[in-house]
Amino acid sequence: MMSRFIAVLSVLLSILALGACGVTAEPTSAIMISDPWVRAAVVVDAMPEEPTAMSMSQDGAMADEMDHNNAMGSTSAAYMTLRNTGDADDALIGATTDVAATVELHTVERDGDVMRMRPIKQIDLPSNGSAELKPGDYHIMLIGLKQDLQTGDSVTLTLTFQNAAPMTISAAVHQP
């Protein structure tokens, strides 16, 4: 009898304690995203059907013809702060957007003055922890831009997580 009372007390106290700090019992997505932004970038590998008048008129026109064989894509990156307000660990495991052919999660390893950008499988979001995606650090890399990204534009990104439901967000485009 006593043990049952204590077990009930435990649950009640837990609810009270949780209530006190404003954590809702409803398990919606535990991920909160703040200050998302995407770096302004231009498509530099012009497609063959749209000749680049600017570069053709220059002496560099010869070298420029190589561009068309090397359409390897232009890049940009998305940054934001991700906060896991839940009490279970989670991780950002991927992202998609309409403005780029491929999206990858990357980090930058600094080795003295040498910077090594590396693809990573996930960005950990420990319970009640956060991860900051910022220049020179974690970023969501956009590879193969389909359009110029100008300051003032916005980019829609869908983020996928290990546990939380996917989230679609809008990120403003600007220079750092």
Partner 1 sequence: MRIAFPRNIALAIALLGVGLALNACAATEAPAIINEEEAAFSAGTAIDPPRTLSDFTLPSTVSPTLSLSDLRGKVVLLYFGYTFCPDICPTTLAELVHVKRMLDADADNAAFVLISVDPDRDTPGVLTRYLAAFDPDFIGMSGDDQTLRAIGSDYGLYYERRADLATSADYLVDHSSATYLIDQEGQLRMVYSYGTPPEVIGADVQDLLR
Query: In the stretch 96-135, what mask flags binding to Cu ion with x, by CB under 5 A?
Result: ----------x----------x------------------
Q: Does residue 32 contact residue 131 with C-beta atoms inside 8 Å?
A: no
Residue numbers 33-62 binding partner 1 by CB under 8 A: 39-46, 52, 54-55, 58-61
Tokens for 48, please give them: 């063959």
Rounded-to-integer distance, Cα 49 and Cα 172, Å:
30
Measured from the CB atom, is 82 or 159 closer to partner 1?
Answer: 82
Q: Does residue 101 contact residue 142 with C-beta atoms inside 8 Å?
A: no
Contacts with partner 1: how many residues (CB under 8 A)?
Answer: 77
Q: 47 touches which of Cu ion, partner 1, none (CB within 5 to 8 A by kind)?
A: none
| Residue 41 DSSP label | B
Q: Does residue 105 contact residue 92 with C-beta atoms inside 8 Å?
A: yes
Residue numbers 60-119 binding partner 1 by CB under 8 A: 60-61, 63-64, 66-67, 70, 72-77, 83, 85, 87, 102, 104, 106, 108, 110, 113-119
Q: Does residue 79 contact residue 139 with C-beta atoms inside 8 Å?
A: yes
Binding interface with Cu ion (CB under 5 A): 106, 117, 141
